A = this chain, B = another copy of it.
Amino acid sequence: MSAATYSQPEIDALWRTLRERRDMRHFLPDPLPDGLLERLVEAAHLAPSVGFMQPWRFIRITEPTLRAQIHTQVEAERRATAAALPSRNDEFLQVKIEGIRDCAEVLVAALMPQREKHLIGRRTLPEMDIASVGCAIQNMWLAARAEGIGLGWVSFFEPDALAALLGLPPGARPLAILCIGQVEAFYPRPMFADAGWGRRLPLAEVLFENRWPEGAGGTPTAY
């Protein structure tokens, strides 16, 4: 394998995917193409992981009852979040945040148990396992987008309740409910941006030189 740059059309294809990937919440009922789900898990599994620990595990939900129970948990947390916001509570409830009942496939992504045995690259940063799962799901997201398939990452749930529902062993922890399916169209912009819940920060606000600039803070909230 050489260090040669890819062809311009290859670079452009990657950038198209980076720009057009969206967190999707509206789905068509059609099934996924044959073999696509496995390809998406393969894409995730090609991700880097700290100390090569591969901390990600995926649970495909095929029982309709289980999917309905997951939806119930998410709906409860959506309402608890709305109640916890300091303002715009009702407005938040009008933003669609998940398509669990409509999408073709639901996958739950979880951290594996016994991660404390893995010290390399996380002796002082144990949260590197979470970052690795983020990398894996981002791979899956991009692979889905390139094949015209939508993916939404839902993090509105109580992790212990979801872990109990799916029989996770002690030490494992769910991080994502992934909704995957055909879509009518991809949103042109992030849905929270379109709904007035944020704006893309200018690059100058996220890129500094040598030291943190005096007075630079976090991203403002919309509430």
Contact = CB atoms under 8 A, between A and B. Distances in A.
Interface of A: 1-6, 9-11, 13-21, 23, 38, 41-43, 45-48, 50-63, 66, 77, 80-81, 84-85, 92, 97, 112-115, 117-125, 127-128, 130-135, 137-139, 141-143, 146-148, 150, 153, 155-159, 166-169, 171-172, 175-176, 182-188, 190, 192-193, 197-198, 200-201, 203, 206-212, 216-219, 221
Contact of A123 (B18, B81, B168, B185): B81
B81 A120 contact: yes
Contact of A63 (B3, B122, B188, B210): B210
Identical chains in the assembly = 2
B13 A203 contact: no
A212 B169 contact: yes
A171 to B, nearest CB: 8
Contacts of A184: 3
A143 B18 CA distance: 9
Contact of A41 (B46, B122, B187, B203): B203
B85 A166 contact: no
A67 to B, nearest CB: 10
A62 B143 contact: no
A45 B52 CA distance: 25
A55 to B, nearest CB: 7
Identify which of A52, A150, A171, A184 gathers the most chain B CB atoms within 10 Å of its CB.
Answer: A52
